[in-house]
Structure 1
Amino acid sequence: MLRWAVTFLIIALIAALFGFGGIAGASAGVAQILFFIFVALFVISLVARVVSGRS
């Protein structure tokens, strides 16, 4: 999922470079949403690992 967030971020940067503001904004928004979903899933997996006691 982090790879998708980085991909959309790169698309947003390239679109902004060429002046496509709408596409850049949409891609940046998608990248931001995917990044926060990734962070939430990462935190949930860390908590689950601590609670279950696996090493």
Structure 2
Amino acid sequence: MLGWALVFALMALVAGFLGFAGLAGFAATVAKILFVIFLVLLVATFVVRAFRGRSVL
């Protein structure tokens, strides 16, 4: 998930540099959404592992 977020962020940077504002905005939005989903799943995994008594790191 984090890999896809980085791919879309890079695509947004390249598209913005080349002047494709619409594509850059869309790619940036998708990257933000994927990154937030990644963070939510990461925190949920840490919480579940902590409640089960396993190491979170």
TM norm structure 1: 0.98
* Aligned partner letter, 1:5: A
> How do 1:33-52 and structure 2 match up within 5 A?
33-52=33-52
Give the AA of the match of 1:38. Answer: F
Runs of 4+ in 1 over 4 A off after TM superposition: none
- The number of aligned residues is 55
Percent identity among equivalent residues?
A: 51
Mapped to 2, the partners of 1:54 and 1:32 lie a distance apart of 30
- What is the Cα deviation at residue 54 of structure 1? 1.6
Q: Structure 2 length as normaliser, TM-score?
A: 0.94
What's the C-alpha RMSD, in Å, of the aligned pairs? 0.5
Aligned counterpart, 1:53:
53
